[in-house]
Structure 1
Amino acid sequence: MKTPEQKNKELVLNAFDTLFGKREYAAAEEFWSDDYVQHSRHIPPGREGLFGLVRSLPETLRYENQYVIAEGDYVMLYGRYSGIGAPAASVVADVVRIEKGKLAEHWDVWEDEATRAESAGDAPMFGDEFPPGR
């Protein structure tokens, strides 16, 4: 039997794949609450703000998840968004609160992915390799 945290991790990963990967907006509505609260400086308010942003991004948009952690009703994803038309991919910590089986609230921390030349720590920010230089 799965723990609530395991179920929440699966829910959020499926939601992100449906919206960012498959871009199936009608299906994605089943994952996001009607009263979804957005705390990001990059994303307009509510579910429609998020969906509108994704619709405006190039079809090359890609989300890759590296880590997922859950505690109670909160899930944190550590991933990379690329193909959004920016010079660098963005490495992001997304925090989502689950309520009644839906994504109800979201916070994030964004940072451009560093190349080897830009990395003071000489370790990649995502995965095992640095991105190609810009």
Structure 2
Amino acid sequence: MTSIRLLRSFALGVAVALCSAAAQASLTPQEQANKDVVLSFYEAAINRKDVEAAVAYIGPKYIQHNPRAADGVEGLKGFIGGYLKQKNPNLKATVKRVIVQDDLVVLHVHSLPEPGELGTAIMDIFRVENGKIVEHWDVMQPVPDKMAHGNGMF
């Protein structure tokens, strides 16, 4: 299945999951395991910036769709060591929501590069295979200081 078809299929699944709280309350054991892997990876990679702990969650073939990171374990190491540790050492991310469907885990995240900043709203999508993360997509949007509504980003 191509990445575009996979994302279209996943988008439909996300819409269904968002409309039904019961869908998340009844994760299969495999979905729960996938969720746990992704959350543990995220904490190690993004908040602790612990390269060795993070790469333990990555599969032998890691496909990256973030334009700032290269494929594979070495690409992830470079992203954590360079972009996160050197350029954004104070960055902290708070996971606001987790959506799980089969082998896909989506995190809705509030990322703050520095305390007191508005930060970025992020949707991270991970594909998990055999207990390891094998693919990643993300979409980012700066949190504005003013919005046309009072709903907030999270």
The two structures share one fold, judged by TM-score above 0.5: yes
Smaller-chain TM-score range? Answer: 0.7 to 0.9
Q: Determine whether 1:75 maps to 2:105.
A: yes
Give me the whole-angstrom Cα distance separating, in 1, the residues matched to 2:36 and 2:58: 14
Partner in structure 1 of residue 73 of structure 2: 47
Secondary structure of 2:68's aligned partner: coil
Instruction: Give how far 1:64 is off.
Output: 0.8
Q: TM-score, normalised by structure 1?
A: 0.81
Percent identity among equivalent residues? 30
- Per-residue CA deviation, residues 2-52 of structure 1 (Å, 9 max, x unaligned), is 621111111100000011112221121110123100012233333322331
Partner in structure 2 of residue 22 of structure 1: 48
Partner in structure 1 of residue 153 of structure 2: 125
Asked if the contact 2:63–2:135 (Cα under 8 Å) also holds between the matched residues in 1, the reply is yes
Unaligned stretches of 5+ residues in structure 1: 127-134
Letter in 1 for 2:100: A
Asked if the contact 2:51–2:80 (Cα under 8 Å) also holds between the matched residues in 1, the reply is no
Which structure has the highest helix share of the two?
Answer: 2
Which structure has the highest strand share of the two?
Answer: 1
Give me the whole-angstrom Cα distance separating, in 2, the residues matched to 1:65 and 1:47: 23
Asked if the contact 1:70–1:76 (Cα under 8 Å) also holds between the matched residues in 2, the reply is yes
Partner in structure 2 of residue 11 of structure 1: 37
Asked if the contact 1:40–1:107 (Cα under 8 Å) also holds between the matched residues in 2, the reply is yes
Letter in 1 for 2:62: Y
Runs of 4+ in 1 over 3 A off after TM superposition: none
Q: TM-score, normalised by structure 2?
A: 0.71
Give me the whole-angstrom Cα distance separating, in 1, the residues matched to 2:96 and 2:38: 13
Q: How many residues align?
A: 122
Letter in 2 for 1:70: V
Say which is worse superposed, 95-104 or 37-46, in terms of deviation. Answer: 37-46
Partner in structure 2 of residue 89 of structure 1: 119
